[in-house]
Structure 1
Amino acid sequence: MHLPSKDIIVLAVGQALTTTVVSMLTTVSSLSGSYLSPSPSLNTLPVTATVIGTLLMIYPASWLMGILGRKGGFMFKAGVGILGGIICCIALLLNHFYVLVLGALLLGIFSAFGQYYRFAAIDAAKNSKEHASAISVVMGAGVIGGIAGPFLSSHFSELFSPVPYAGSFVAIITVCVCLALSQLFLSSDLGRTVSPTPDAIKTSDHKHKLLSSNFIQISIICTIAFAVMTLTMNAAPLSLHKSCFALTTASIVLQVHFIMMYLPSFFNPSLVKIIGLKGLITIGVLSSALGCLLTLLPNQTLEIYMIELGLSGIGWNFMFNGGTLLLTKTYSPAMKTKAQGLNSLFVYTGNIVASFSAGALMYLSGWQLVNLICIPLLGISIFILWITRVSNIT
């Protein structure tokens, strides 16, 4: 087995650092909002601002990287993250809630670029046979962030005591600086859009048809993968609290989930060689479905929760990474920027819907219903997968 290229290693570092920031934001955004909020009804406004920032930037990020390349795009992202972290830190130190909201919006713009490391990994692969191994290395590095993020957030939160959480944003700034420095080593032309030749334009006309059929079908699979994962991940802390588990215990369950979201990436290339991409996605669907069905057990112990969230993470990994690899077969290089931007927009929109639905569903009917609703969604994804006419291998 040959060693990954320099660009793939740099992208893996970028993915690890990005996941670290995102996991820190998950922990500290709502807490800092509740600390500064002038009204309880505004507690989640910083989190909402982050979501809006990501939604506004998720498609333009693809266009920007088409012009600047992956290096320029990820450097821009790191700069926005540094600025957002500084503004949030100042807001907490000076007790200005709406300044915090502005910083959270910028950190949402930062987060939008995280969707594109999977596509950058494909750009960095030498040929189509190395796509799976490139994604496995880059996406697998996210496991570091899943562990480092909560650790840094908790250990830096009281750095500027008695002002809570300001230190966590200092940690975010520091990680973003490291991110900027690491992405300096990317090749300048990686991912940059090249003007199409006449032959490429003819090919693009054919691929455009696929963009309206196979592309949409595979994008639906990626969207369902993210939505199902988000539903279970966001509902789990509420269910654990309702079951009288301590916050520290809930954190352990979520850490297991984060680890299993990224760790299986390292095994994806070997699995794809044996069972193909459709087989990988199918195992992901079955894994997620099994995790959902386990919630029907009457005695939801800590161990059961860990298995359920672990299976949810594995399911997301196989479905999302497999879907990303299949997606590359549905568009031409000339349409890369548009296709990747639309796919990321679809995925994040599904993520938002699932995120906001989780709390309401938990309030109305509980943990079991949240998971049972995922079953028909997974059924739709498996049906779409096997009617889609895209090559089964990479």
Structure 2
Amino acid sequence: MLNLPKNIWVMSAVMALSFGSTSMMVLIAGLIGAKLAPTAAMATLPYAVVVIGTASASIPAALLMQRVGRKRGVTISLSMAIGAAVLAAYAVSIGNFWLFVLGAFLLGANASFAQQGRFIILENAVGTKQQSDGLTLALLANLTAAFLGPWMGQYGQHLFADSADFTGSFILLVCILSGALLLLTQYTEQAKPIVVENSTGRPLWSIVRQPSFLIAAGSAGFGFGIMALVMTATPVSMHELEGHTVSHAAWVIQAHIIAMFLPSLLTGKLLKQGLSTSLLFAGLACYLIMCTIAYSGQEVMHYWWALVLLGMGWNFLFMTSTARLGLSHTPEEKFKVQACNDFMVFGVQAIAAFSAGWLLFRYGWGGVISVAIGMTLFWSICLAALTLKQRKIALIKVRADRS
């Protein structure tokens, strides 16, 4: 891993700092929403809008980077995010809910550009081993976000005595994003791959019908969707409904984010051994165990264990689906397939995050978990069917090659 190209190290660090905004919003967006929203059911709307921003910017992010290059694209995104953090700080300071929602949307759009970082890392890697090590490094670097985001949220809550709660959190975020922008200057833009002029590869519909694409995009989509549903509801359920402290909620979210990235070393090794299908089912198994624990009680430790398993399951699903997406497209099809994948993935996540507040206040924590277990079982069945279909297609191809 130490021999990875400099660009991979730089982009991993930039991603880690950039994702600090997302982990911070996981903790405080719902808490701010609970204070500023017109109705209690809209408390989770700000974080839902973060995800909507991520989904809506997924296609523009890929297309912009295709036109201006990876480095310029990320530079534009980070500059926008700094402005969004300033806007959010101002909105919180004056108690304007809808202005805060706008800032949350722009921070979400930045996350879409940051998500492109995993594809940038794959492009800078040479061979399967470097690709696996690069993804592992990126996710391990994102452990920084597990500490950074909740720290900014908790420490910045009362940073300025004369201002509203959490204004200081967004001022700290401005500093962190500025640091990411400075780090990005060390990234060297790669030459664009040579492709046949005017060639865009196969029609998109032909690509997305493949079992290889459906397995990758579906696993990432349901992985993100289930995680967003439970994770978005957790701080509000803990603090607003159960009366647990903000520090307890921060501890649970921090443990969750650590669990999202810490298993990356193991996941990377298992991917090298060709165990991607087993990892996908292992991720879904983690989700089912998570639901069982979440059903059993609402003490701090119930939330803690549930969110740790949620993070582990997401890691298995996300790393594996990212690695497998490349099997579904050729180099000239890369940008449109990545854009389509991210739009689908973050679209599901946006719907889940948007639904979290309504489900929580209407049906309680049990209602949220019931939907999560239904989604997990549904995708488990779909994944099994798609895996069998993919193996059948591969077997037919082998027989055709032999004849």
TM-score under structure 1 length normalisation: 0.86
| Structure 2 unaligned blocks of 5 or more | 395-403
Letter in 1 for 2:293: L
2:210 to 209, 213, 220: 213
Q: 1:163 — aligned with what?
A: 163
Superposition map of 1:54-93 within 5 A? 54-93=54-93
After superposing the two structures, state which structure 1 stretch, 129-138 or 102-111, moved more. 102-111
C-alpha distance in 1, partners of 2:27/2:272?
38
C-alpha distance in 1, partners of 2:106/2:276?
36
How many residues were matched structurally? 386
Letter in 2 for 1:268: T
Letter in 2 for 1:222: A
Q: 2:124 — aligned with what?
A: 124
1:326 aligned onto 2:300: no
2:353 to 355, 361, 369: 355
Q: 1:173 to 1:279 in 2, by over 3 A?
A: same
After superposing the two structures, state which structure 1 stretch, 268-277 or 236-245, moved more. 236-245
C-alpha distance in 1, partners of 2:279/2:235?
29
Letter in 2 for 1:86: V
1:376 aligned onto 2:374: no
Structure 1 residue 141, shift from structure 2 partner? 1.4
Q: 1:104 — aligned with what?
A: 104
C-alpha distance in 1, partners of 2:376/2:49?
31
Structure 1 residue 354, shift from structure 2 partner? 1.3
Superposition map of 1:158-307 within 5 A? 158-164=158-164, 165-189=166-190, 192=192, 194=193, 196-197=195-196, 201=199, 204-205=201-202, 209-214=206-211, 215-240=213-238, 242=241, 245-297=244-296, 301-307=299-305
C-alpha distance in 1, partners of 2:103/2:298?
39
Q: 1:12 — aligned with what?
A: 12
Q: 1:352 to 1:132 in 2, by over 3 A?
A: same
Given that 1:87 and 1:100 are in contact with CA atoms closer than 8 Å, whether structure 2 keeps it comes out as: yes
C-alpha distance in 2, partners of 1:32/1:188?
39
Given that 1:272 and 1:279 are in contact with CA atoms closer than 8 Å, whether structure 2 keeps it comes out as: no
Q: 1:237 to 1:125 in 2, by over 3 A?
A: same
Q: 1:122 to 1:147 in 2, by over 3 A?
A: same
Structure 1 residue 2, shift from structure 2 partner? 4.6
Structure 1 residue 108, shift from structure 2 partner? 2.6
Letter in 1 for 2:279: L
Structure 1 residue 29, shift from structure 2 partner? 3.5
Structure 1 residue 151, shift from structure 2 partner? 0.8
Given that 2:293 and 2:302 are in contact with CA atoms closer than 8 Å, whether structure 1 keeps it comes out as: yes
Given that 2:21 and 2:107 are in contact with CA atoms closer than 8 Å, whether structure 1 keeps it comes out as: no
Structure 1 residue 160, shift from structure 2 partner? 3.2
Deviations 1:230-251 (A, max 9, x none): 2222333455455554443232
Q: 1:30 to 1:10 in 2, by over 3 A?
A: same
Given that 2:233 and 2:357 are in contact with CA atoms closer than 8 Å, whether structure 1 keeps it comes out as: yes
TM-score under structure 2 length normalisation: 0.85
Structure 1 residue 41, shift from structure 2 partner? 8.1
C-alpha distance in 2, partners of 1:74/1:233?
27
Structure 2 SS opposite 1:196: coil
Superposition map of 1:40-55 within 5 A? 46-47=46-47, 49-55=49-55
Letter in 1 for 2:291: C
Letter in 2 for 1:278: T
Deviations 1:305-335 (A, max 9, x none): 3222211111110111101111111001101
Superposition map of 1:330-349 within 5 A? 330-349=328-347
Structure 1 residue 122, shift from structure 2 partner? 0.9
Structure 1 residue 260, shift from structure 2 partner? 0.3
C-alpha distance in 1, partners of 2:221/2:138?
20
Identity, in percent, stands at: 26
Given that 1:133 and 1:268 are in contact with CA atoms closer than 8 Å, whether structure 2 keeps it comes out as: no
| Structure 1 unaligned blocks of 5 or more | none
C-alpha distance in 1, partners of 2:341/2:318?
11
